[in-house]
Structure 1
């Protein structure tokens, strides 16, 4: 699973997700937009709009599955609960949680974070130019869990951590929202269908005349 607010989904989200799918030879990757993010403010647009953009972005890649289970669940979106739900639905699957480096280093702040390894492996999408600055509780937890290859990860049902290098694309949702609010174009930073949707709906302050 690859979760997030996707506010909005952009090309960097999709490229790093595809990197992991290809490197891990994954049959499917669930893209799961969260309902209420526990560690940041409310998303800028509605849940249905974020889901619609994600649906548009994932078209054409059959291994991407847009999954709205967190949007259907009341309250904050805790990853440990989502993994439990996926485990119930796919009891024989080895689950893999994808995290960016910036999210991984904040794990000790997550709800029941130490239980994540009981439900899934963690693959950290690491950029070559992004050093890991993990807090001490996370460094301690990581001891004995890190593996170097996908084959080693598959030797265990859950609990391993693999650092996977991904394509470095300097695109962020925060920068995109600021760009659009300032009347600048999001073209080539977003999938074309997502950019057209944002323009048509006037989301994030984008006007219909922007290029």
Structure 2
């Protein structure tokens, strides 16, 4: 059985337990030995980050230095153009070959708005989609066409994720963490504690760097 490589993109401004713990649970479920974190440079769907690229990478390193599951790939930070997921996946597919099983981790919120993504129809030719639950989001797509597309690609056989290079959607049973980076930034601006929301090493870095202050 081939080893499934998984990728997890995001702004990570800052990285927090709502990012880390669900994907650690996903790794247990589907047998992932490595998850590559892909920090976005110019996120297409959201406002620009408060922390700069180097600071966000530093926070990723602080968060994962004791977690061998994770590695960091900064290729999207080298681009001036928006961080289109499909373009990154095409590059990775070319590097890793057509037979390598690749998974891209998204949240349920992203799945529900997938039709707004750049060239979303091409994603499943390049990877599997591994979907983590998000609190408060619907479990059905917002159109019959998208629901039919989802139903066609869902698998409940974890072996397919390892045996096929791409094309499946896995709806993971992951724990729900109602944490957002926006909330953390707001709490920091108000001088409120965030100890239970993100790793202590990341909080220490934020303090040292003077991030998220008025």
Q: Same fold (TM over 0.5)?
A: yes
Between 120-129 and 105-114, report the one with greater CA deviation: 120-129
**Structure 1 stretches (4+) deviating beyond 4 angstroms?**
127-130
Which 5+ residue runs of structure 2 have no aligned equivalent?
1-6
Q: In structure 2, how many angstroms separate the alpha carbons of the residues matched to 1:67 and 1:135?
A: 33
SS at match of 1:205: coil
Q: In structure 2, how many angstroms separate the alpha carbons of the residues matched to 1:87 and 1:101?
A: 24
Question: Structure 1 residue aligned with 2:101, among 69, 76, 94?
Answer: 94
Q: In structure 1, how many angstroms separate the alpha carbons of the residues matched to 2:65 and 2:135?
A: 29
Corresponding position of 2:4: none
Q: In structure 1, how many angstroms separate the alpha carbons of the residues matched to 2:184 and 2:72?
A: 22
Deviations along 1:46-81, one digit per CA (max 9) or x if unpaired, are: 011111101111111112011101101221000001
Cα distance, 1:25 vs. partner?
A: 1.1
Q: In structure 2, how many angstroms separate the alpha carbons of the residues matched to 1:157 and 1:3?
A: 19
SS at match of 1:36: coil
Corresponding position of 1:172: 180
Cα distance, 1:119 vs. partner?
A: 0.2
Question: Structure 1 residue aligned with 2:119, among 87, 90, 112?
Answer: 112
Which 5+ residue runs of structure 1 have no aligned equivalent?
207-211
Between 121-130 and 12-21, report the one with greater CA deviation: 121-130
Cα distance, 1:127 vs. partner?
A: 4.7
Q: In structure 2, how many angstroms separate the alpha carbons of the residues matched to 1:47 and 1:127?
A: 26
Aligned length: 206
TM-score normalised over the length of structure 1: 0.92
Between 127-136 and 47-56, report the one with greater CA deviation: 127-136
Between 60-69 and 135-144, report the one with greater CA deviation: 135-144
Note closer, same or farther for the CA distance 1:192–1:128 as it changes in structure 2 (3 Å cut).
closer
> Following superposition of structure 1 onto structure 2, how do residues 13-92 of structure 1 map, counting pairs within 5 Å?
13-91=19-97, 92=99
Cα distance, 1:27 vs. partner?
A: 2.2
Deviations along 1:64-100, one digit per CA (max 9) or x if unpaired, are: 0111011012210000011111112211420001010
Corresponding position of 1:209: none
Cα distance, 1:179 vs. partner?
A: 0.7
Note closer, same or farther for the CA distance 1:204–1:128 as it changes in structure 2 (3 Å cut).
closer
Deviations along 1:107-166, one digit per CA (max 9) or x if unpaired, are: 100100010000000011125874314122422322321111312333432111010011
RCO greater where, 1 or 2, for CA within 8 Å and sep 6 or more?
Answer: 2
